[in-house]
Structure 1
Amino acid sequence: MVKAQQWVNENFSSQENKDKVKKLCIRLKEGTNKIDQSNYEFFNTKLEGELDLNGFKNLEDLAIWGNWTSTLHPITNLKIDRCSKLQKLEIDCTSFDKLNLNSNQKITTLIIRGCINLQKIEGLEQLSNLQNLNLWPSNSVPNSKLQISLSQNNWKPEIGRIKEIQVLKEKAQQLKELADIILPNITFDLDKLKQEIARLRLNELVPQVQKKKSELEQQINNTKNSVETSFKKVIDLLLETQKQIITGKKDPLVQAQFTGQLNAYLSILEGNLSKQELQALLDKKTELIKMEEQIDKLQRTKNKN
């Protein structure tokens, strides 16, 4: 038996050697060591004490194997909090009493078997990228010491719930940061933040709407000047019907009636105006209506008590 850290120093004496390692497997049973470029598999390796792998910054796959629960691997602690690239971790029949995964958020596969002394896995609930969790799948020795909220049956929905909570926390933090920018030196208040954002957006949007409205009026006048007097009223009816379709009731029958009227007006005008001209008018009208609706909504938010 050799001290775990002594073994690391002897087999990976330089940082360059450690940087090469992407996959590391340490086995207690007999066998022949296998080293293939970035993959290292050691057999008949009995280590004791703490195994500190924080120098292995490119490590992606780590496995430590004992030899059934009757012969646990003597390693008592594992330090991998700086192994930020670690994606797969397999721990089988070791002497760990706790495992810290708080800094290993990229783990997608976690397999833990036969660790009968394991009492706590810190950070398990934070593994938002976890795709495969395997805890004691074929172990006949009951582990009453391990206390975790995730199990073989519930981990997927639980991880999903945790992800949602993390997203909400991130959004809340973003709101607070935004509030600090817009309303400095004021205690965070979501309603005040909404009102201030609405005010700023109105200052930006109102001049744009005024410009769009002026452009549309000019376009309508130009279009009317290009047709006979009898068709000018039809242009007004066309645009008013377009407004009713956008802002009116969403009842299918009502919408169908307005759509029929719109198509009728288009048919009347198409003898004097091109489809492109008519569509351009409708598009401009639609854009203006939606911007005016946005202004109304912002005004309500700004004036909300």
Structure 2
Amino acid sequence: MVKAQEFIERKFYKHVNEIISLKDDLEGHLDLSEYPNLTKIDFGYNSRLTSLKLTHSNRITWMSLPDTGIDNFNFMAETPNIHTICLPITEGVSNYDYIAKALRETIESENPNSTRSRNNDNSQRIKELEQLFAIVQEENQSLQGQIQQKQQDISDQQSQINELSNISFPNNPYNFIKLKQDISRLKIQELAPQVRNESTKLVELITKAKSKAGNFSSIVDLTLETQKQIVKNNETPQQYILSGKMEAYQTILSSNLVDEELQNILNKQTEVLDLEEHLESLRQNLNK
């Protein structure tokens, strides 16, 4: 038989989260006020443990005191978040009777002013929760409206796709891959002549520019090649270098070509490059 207080203080540090001391033959009163971090306590099967004191704690959620001599449960007022508890039981007294007794003693241990204050706090908290619920409900209704609109948009788009599929493949079920390939094929037929025409125009502009550039005709080719690299290269340091080259070439050509002529060539090449890239992408789609 050991003094409960001395045994617990000797065995458990003050910062522990749990104290489990089963069948240690603890005796007398136990004060755990200096153990603020406790979340779980278990002193089962210490029949000579007669009373328990706890500091107010929102942390303690689990408590087990079976087969102890504790018969005063005022300490439960200090554990508002307890959700699992096992109380001592004596012969002929049910669990429910003990729990009821514990709750009565908890309530009786509070003075009237404290009870009124807690009721006021609860009322205020209920109002806050009602306001929060109203906000959440309003947001939920707004989200539901957005979801319904999105669903309608998806339904409309699906109808349009099905209609397009029926045009391409009448009397056949919708097949996305076949539809994509069919559209790609049609776009290729439309785009290929355009690429050829614009490429021809670009060649004509280049030929004319080279003729006017005279001895600097090779600079025209260098300018166009540098522009291709600028379009295809996204690295910032390299962009600076290429832009510097472009400025140098344009300065050289400025004595033979006006800025507008050179810019027209560059714009036309950009257009052709975009068309060629699009055409190549469509051709790749046919093979997927």
2: distance between equivalents of 1:247 and 1:182?
36
Instruction: Please give the alpha-carbon distance, in whole angstroms, between the structure 1 residues aligned to 2:266 and 2:155.
Output: 43
Match of 2:225 among 226, 233, 240: 240
> C-alpha separation between the residues in 2 aligned to 1:205 and 1:153?
48
Q: In the TM superposition, what is the alpha-carbon distance from 1:241 to its structure 2 partner?
A: 1.0
Show CA shifts across 1:168-202 (max 9, x none). Answer: 22111111111111222222111111110000000
What are the Cα deviations for residues 71-92 of structure 1, in whole angstroms up to 9, with x where unaligned?
Answer: xxxxxxxxxxxxxxxxxxxxxx
2:209 maps to: 223
Quote the offset at 1:152 in angstroms. 3.0
Query: Aligned to 2:251, which of 256, 259, 267?
Result: 267
> Do the aligned partners of 2:224 and 2:266 also contact (CA within 8 Å) in 1?
yes
1:211 to 197, 204, 210: 197
How far apart, CA to CA, are the structure 2 residues paired with 1:260 and 1:180? 54
Structure with the higher strand share, 1 or 2: 1
Q: Any stretches of 5+ residues in structure 1 without a counterpart?
A: 1-149
SS of residue in 1 equivalent to 2:170? coil
CA displacement, residues 23-69 of structure 1 (integer Å, 9 cap, x when unaligned): xxxxxxxxxxxxxxxxxxxxxxxxxxxxxxxxxxxxxxxxxxxxxxx
- Matching of residue 201 in structure 1 with residue 187 in structure 2: yes
Q: Are 1:286 and 2:279 an aligned pair?
A: no
- Whether the aligned pair in 1 keeps the contact of 2:213 and 2:253 (CA below 8 Å) is no
CA 1:178/1:232 → structure 2, altered by over 3 Å: closer, same or farther?
same
Give the CA deviation at 1:270.
1.0
Rounded to whole Å, the distance in 1 between the matches of 2:269 and 2:142 is 49
1:299 counterpart = 2:276: no
Aligned residues: CA RMSD: 1.4
Q: Identify, as 1 or 2, the structure richer in helix.
A: 2
Question: Which one-letter code corresponds to 2:222 in the other structure?
Answer: L
**Equivalent residue of 1:185, what SS?**
coil
Q: TM-score, normalised by structure 1?
A: 0.48
Amino acid at match of 2:228: K
Q: Are residues 1:166 and 2:152 paired?
A: yes
Runs of 4+ in structure 1 off by over 4 angstroms are: none
State which of 156, 178, 182 in structure 1 corresponds to 2:164.
Answer: 178
Provide the C-alpha distance between the structure 2 equivalents of 1:182 and 1:257, rounded to a whole number of angstroms. Answer: 49
In 1, the alpha carbon distance for the partners of 2:262 and 2:148 equals 52
Q: Per the alignment, do residues 157 and 227 of structure 1 end up closer, same or farther by CA in structure 2, a change over 3 Å counting?
A: same
Larger radius of gyration: 2
Give the secondary-structure state (helix, strand or coil) at the position aligned to 2:173. coil
Write out aligned runs for 1:46-61 (5 A): none
Amino acid at match of 2:265: L
Unaligned runs of at least 5 residues, structure 2: 1-135
8 Å Cα contact 2:195/2:275 also seen in 1: yes
Counting matched residue pairs gives 153
> Residues of 2 paired with 1:239 and 1:286: CA distance?
10
Identity %: 35
Contact persistence 2:168–2:182 (CA under 8 A):
yes
Q: Kindly indicate whether residue 155 of structure 2 is the aligned counterpart of residue 155 of structure 1.
A: no
